[in-house]
Structure 1
Amino acid sequence: MPQTADEMDAVAVRTWCSLALEALGREREAIDAINVYPVADGDTGTNLYLTVESANQAVEAVFAAHETGTTVPVAADVVRAMAHGALIGARGNSGTILAQLLRGMAGVLAGGHDADHLRRALTSAAVAARQAVAHPVEGTVLTVATVAAEAAGSTADDAGTAAVAAAAYEGARTALEATPGQLAVLGRAGVVDAGGRGLLTVLGALVEAVSGRAPERTYVAAPAPALLVPDDCAVADAEGGPAFEVIYLLEATDGAVDRLRTRLDGLGDSLVVVGGDGLWNVHVHVDDAGAAVEAGVEAGRPYRIRITHFGADRAHPHAEPVQRAVVVVVPGDGLRGLCEEAGATTVLARPGEPPASGELVDAIRRAHAREVVLLPNDAELRHTAAAAAEQARAEGVRVALIPTRAAVQGIAALAVHEPDRSFDEDVVAMTAAAGATRYAELAVAERQSWTMAGICQAGDILGLIDGDVAVIGEDVPETARNVLDRMLAAGGELVTLVLGEDVPDSLADALEEHVREGYLAVDTVMYRGGHQCAPLLIGVE
């Protein structure tokens, strides 16, 4: 049941995040359909959904840590988790601005959760969002946020949080309806601002979280997608704007970020830099993506870098879907390149940050196919992948989920993929190839612990076969040889080695020689996994 206590405590914030995610899930396609500014790439709803999904996951993690206790988390911890989750998961121009709005709110709500704190939080959010955008434009989500804050601030001193939230919602609704008259591109397309529409949805969830009742949604629904963006508008935008969207997280000092803003502002447009306390989310549209990343390297340590070519993405709404595609989760940049060369759409799994279901759904949409084979390559992703597959099926895509548990199983499945044969036959062949591949991984023990192979000490090299520790060694080469011997004792025809970034080629050469000398009929192939990959992945099929 929605939270009905008239305050923004920990439970209300949790409820707000959950309701906002549900609402954006329902309205994502409608918001995507009216996305014409700053780029008509039809992804504002999706980006907002993914941003809120990350915020919601962070909040749920805080509550999960209290499951064994009898009290709920401290409200300040929950709102900070919400803001941090949105920051690290922000996608696109709209998601980045929403992350800053939530961060601005969290800075105030961490100090209290009554109506007055909510008023001041909404004002802080609107100010912070404007400061994050290099060149604020009226008629956008920034205007909607400002008017919402002003409406909330005009409520009576004795008004409760429900009344303040309702006033913010009504102010946002009024501002949203006025956006076509403020921004010419919206007026020509006959739509309201997509980012503002998404913020209104989030504020509607806030009203429901603190009052128990969803507000009446009286804004005009989006017209059919085919009628939204005139062809001349879309073409002009595609030809006139920058070619790439660049997004990355950045660890840097405030002074370095100030210099970065100046540098990126000269390289492109739609510049939004949000965050603080040493962690920032950078978003910019540029023609030279490499220069934008290099600027981040000069400022600090950029990571989780996403570069999107607008030309490819803009073609999708009007292009005929391909018949079949493969979507694969990969644990490193090297494997991503390998799989993309084979024609797959990839999702990068970062250490400690498994992809969310929304990210998998987004990848399925990017594949733009009638039929999709999904390879999660991780046993822990089975429920996430199943949820993504179910959502994609609801959107009319035929999805087959092959429960691959490791990257080497995904490589084996992708190797036998043949899009020209029937979908069922292709899925059966790929499933059989994955199932016939035993997998292993070398990892470094972080602390002393009990394992199926005995007690390991911190720093030991662990050889995991099919997910269980089978070998404990002192160095990588010795442990790798022992793991290979155990796996090949049960037979095999092909060994696949995937090396991490810091592992020398000499290890692959030594292991290939070991296999050649001890197992005459077995071939060996080697790939580079990249810096986010484990030291060594092994597949035997």
Structure 2
Amino acid sequence: MDPYAGLHYNSTATISKRLDVYKTNVATDNTEVHRFRPQHLLDGLRAATVYLARHQEDINALNVFPVPDGDTGTNMLLTMTAVVHGDNWPSDSISKIAIKSANQAILGSRGNSGVILAQFLSGFSQSLYGITDCDGPTLARALTDGARSAYTAVSDPVEGTMLTVLRDLSDAAAKTAAQGDVDIVDILYASVEAAHQSLDKTPSLLPMLQEAGVVDSGGQGIVVFMEGLLAGLLSQDPYKLEIKINSENKCLTQSTPHYSDFYLEGTKQEQYGFCTQLILEDDELDLPKLKESIAKFGTSVAVIGGQSLAKIHVHTFQPEAMIQFARTLGYTSKIQVDNIDQQHQDFRTFHQSSVKKIPLGIVAVASGHGFADLFRDLGCHAVITCGHTMNPSTEELLHAARSTSADQVIILPNDANILLAANQAINLSSQSICCIPTTTMPQGIAALLAYTPDLSPEKSIQTMKQAIQGITTVEITTSHRNTSISGRSVAKGQIIGLINGNLVGFGNNPSDVLINTIQQGPLKSDGLITLYWGSTAKQDEAEYAAECLRKSLGNQEVEVVYGGQPFYHYIASIE
């Protein structure tokens, strides 16, 4: 019988009971507990990931910051998923496992919480460099180095957050090690106990936590993470042990925290810009200098990594400028830009009203921040913003559908590559989901414009499906290789014009190709052309192209809208 099965706790007293049970079993089995071995660390990291997965939504619900910056539980889980993903783990050295986990965490880190967790693992791994296995004092030193490293990840450390919990648990580990004659179980137990105690104190350090009556979400994530490390050492089944997520008054958080109108109004005028993240690679990166340079672009700056690879995180009003600057320093990848101000508004709107069931929720996938804002303005209940090549997963679509609080949900994929994931979401969801097969952004806009809340869900779906039939989509992009499309040879670097995915023209200037391509489209008398300019185009160029179209076509109304889409200089709809 598993001695830990069904054991629930939310206090350090219960942790102590678990420790007593473990040490009794160790005495019986004559098992050595003095060394922290490679398999202990790997099992601990895997257990921590399981714990985070099981309590992801609970941790998310604790997030009280007016800028969610993504959900804390989700970001920490995605970071740890990147850590434990894959095979070929070394088995001969705790150092090798620690280094591999840190590198994968840096590459896979998401949001502030994920970046800080990755930096903790980086400092932890550096402390264990070259070590096969370790004793209690060495483990305590690694925890301390990890916590110190985490503080260096952010430009302006804030107490009452996960940083405080990391520091307090590492201090407890160091004090325990200093007592002498302690093993690794004692070190981890002291760390977990201190993490719980530190978490309980976070509301007294951050007024917004006190106002909401909850503990810090990132700190709660660290508690869950450390419990995983302890579970790995104790060889516990992470699927059986329950962790209660606590608010300040020790009550299990089972619903969304309540925020006073005073608190929410106090965040109303805050402006944050865009959460911008990327990986930068070069032979000789100077991280302190890099952090100083990135700080000129915004706030919440975090730079982690090493001499050849760095993960950058910043909240900025100039994401394009920051990305261009990074490209002058080396090779950039995994670029992600999220509109935090919209998240902020969603946060306030959600908490200023009770969660009400709506008859029909609408989820849209948007490529480009202009399109994302447009979908929201037109009434979408949830918008998933994609980066350059990151299509949303089925889980992301399901999460967005759940967030609408609707019994029936419409998904507008707006990309042929997302149709499969959307249809998979239909099969997995407890909600009634319908995918309207929009394969372009203009089709999604047309479907949304046809939506009438007064109609029944069935009638709305029918009307929206009919609306996309009359939309012609024009796309202007750059060919990235020598190829042949629709029987025509296209050279790398040429600008190409597509109508509903078919090549109709090419040239050297995006605006010229746009005008030529639209002129070959199915134009109607007194029709409407909407021109969406992307992240690689400029507004004055788009306005010039629109004016040329008005003059050459005469009877067509031409509108110019910012789409912000990557890769495509222009996307246009003809209707």
TM-score by length of 2: 0.66
Does the residue aligned with 2:71 lie in a helix, a strand or coil? helix
2:237 to 196, 204, 213: 213
Task: Find the counterpart in structure 2 of residue 101 from structure 1.
Answer: 120
- Residues 496, 128 of structure 1: alpha-carbon distance in 2 compared, 3 angstrom cutoff: same
Between 370-379 and 223-232, report the one with greater CA deviation. Answer: 223-232
Greater mean deviation of Cα atoms: 488-497 or 347-356 = 488-497
Query: Aligned match of 1:308 in 341, 344, 347?
Result: 341
1:418 aligned residue: 452
Take 2:167 and 2:571, find their aligned partners in 1: how far apart are those partners? Answer: 51
Give the aligned residue type for 2:38: E
Structure 1 window deviating more from structure 2 (220-229 vs 347-356): it is 220-229
Deviation for aligned residue 1:443: 2.0
User: 2:454 and 2:390 mapped to 1: Cα distance?
Assistant: 35
Q: Counterpart in 1 of 2:418?
A: 381
CA distance in 1, matches of 2:304, 2:83: 16
Written as runs of structure 1 = structure 2, the 5 A alignment for 1:53-72 is 53=78, 56=81
Identity %: 24
Distance 2:243 2:370 in 1: 49
Tell me if the contact between 2:546 and 2:559 (Cα under 8 Å) persists in the aligned partners.
Answer: no
Contact 1:332 1:533 in 2 (8 A): no
Q: Which residue of 2 aligns with 1:335?
A: 371
Correspondence list, 1:207-356, <5 A: 213-214=237-238, 216-217=241-242, 219=244, 223=251, 225=253, 235-236=262-263, 239=266, 243-245=270-272, 247-249=275-277, 254-255=288-289, 257-258=291-292, 273-275=302-304, 279-282=311-314, 304=337, 306-308=339-341, 310=344, 313-317=347-351, 319-320=353-354, 321=356, 323=358, 324-344=360-380, 345-355=382-392
Amino acid at match of 1:213: D
Q: Which moved more, 1:43-52 or 1:429-438?
A: 43-52
DSSP-derived class of the 1:446 partner: coil
Choose the corresponding residue for 1:146, options 136, 150, 167: 167
CA deviations over 1:40-84 (Å, ceiling 9, x no partner): x69699333135326646986xx69x9xxxxxxx96566423212
Are 1:502 and 2:537 an aligned pair? yes
Q: Which residue of 1 aligns with 2:562?
A: 528
Structure 2 vs 1, CA of residues 298 and 31 (structure 1 numbering), >3 Å: closer, same or farther?
same
**CA-CA distance at 1:335 after TM superposition:** 2.6
Deviation at 1:473, TM superposition (A): 4.6
Aligned to 1:457: 491
Structure 2: how far apart are the matches of 1:339 and 1:237? 24
| Paired residues for 1:80-229 under 5 Å | 80-86=103-109, 89-90=110-111, 94-105=113-124, 122-133=143-154, 140-149=161-170, 168=188, 171-177=191-197, 179-181=199-201, 183-184=203-204, 192-205=215-228, 213-214=237-238, 216-217=241-242, 219=244, 223=251, 225=253
**Among candidates 9, 25, 28, match of residue 56 of structure 2:** 28
Contact 2:124 2:146 in 1 (8 A): yes
- Provide the residue aligned with 1:52 in structure 2: 77
Q: Deviations over 1:12-50 (max 9, x none)?
A: 59x957x656543432332234445xx3x6969933313
Give CA deviations for 1:239-276 in whole Å, capped at 9, x if unaligned: 389834554348897336348769978xxxxx563435
* Alpha-carbon shift at residue 152 of structure 1 (Å): 6.7
Q: CA offset at residue 407 of structure 1?
A: 0.9
- 1:346-376 deviation per Cα after TM superposition (whole angstroms, max 9, x unaligned): 3332223444556556655665666543222
- Retained in 1: the 8 A contact 2:475–2:571? yes
3-state SS of 1:458 partner: coil
Q: Against the structure 1 CA distance between its residues 419 and 106, is the aligned structure 2 distance closer, same or farther, given a 3 Å change threshold? A: farther
Q: 5+ residue gaps in structure 2? A: 1-35, 89-95, 281-285, 328-334
Counterpart of 2:58, as a letter, is A
Q: Secondary structure at the match of 1:421?
A: coil
Match of 1:428 in 2: 462
CA distance in 1, matches of 2:107, 2:411: 29
Structure 1 residues 42 and 386: CA distance shift in structure 2, 3 A: farther
Q: CA deviation at 1:300?
A: 7.3
1:406 pairs with 2:406? no
CA contact (8 A) 2:144 2:167 kept: yes
Which residue of structure 2 aligns with residue 71 of structure 1?
Answer: none
Counterpart-to-counterpart distance in 1, 2:394 and 2:361: 18
Cα distance between partner residues in 1 of 2:480 and 2:471:
28
Taking the aligned partners of 1:45 and 1:263, their CA distance within structure 2 comes to: 20
Query: How far did residue 408 of structure 1 move?
Result: 1.6
> Is the contact between residue 8 and residue 114 of structure 1 (CA under 8 Å) also seen in structure 2?
no
- Hey, what's the Cα distance between the residues in 2 that align with 1:306 and 1:414? 21
Task: Tell whether the 8 Å contact from 2:106 to 2:311 is kept in structure 1 after alignment.
Answer: no
TM-score for the superposition, normalised by structure 1: 0.69
- Letter matched to residue 60 of structure 2: D
Distance in 2 separating the partners of 1:467 and 1:54: 36
Change (3 A) 1:6 1:380: farther
Letter in 1 for 2:270: A
* CA shift for structure 1 position 423: 1.4
Aligned pair in 2 of structure 1 residues 209, 219: CA closer, same or farther (>3 Å)?
same
**SS of match in other structure, 2:563:** strand
SS in 2 for 1:126: helix
Shift of 1:378: 1.7
The count of aligned residue pairs is 495
Distance apart, 1:416 and its partner CA: 1.0
Amino acid at match of 1:304: V
Alpha-carbon separation, structure 1, partners of 2:453 and 2:152: 49
Letter in 2 for 1:448: N
> SS of the residue aligned with 1:195?
helix
Q: How far apart are 1:458 and its partner, in Å?
A: 1.5
Please report how far the alpha carbon of residue 534 of structure 1 lies from its aligned counterpart in structure 2 after TM superposition.
Answer: 0.8
Separation of aligned partners in 1, 2:420 and 2:129? 33
- The whole-number CA distance in structure 1 between the counterparts of 2:262 and 2:202 is 22
User: Tell me, what secondary structure is at the counterpart of 1:308?
Assistant: helix
User: 2:478 corresponds to which residue?
Assistant: 444
Deviation digits for residues 289-341 of structure 1 (CA, Å, limit 9, x no counterpart):
86x98997999799825333756514423513373453322222333343333
Give the whole-Å Cα distance in 2 for the aligned partners of 1:404 and 1:439: 11
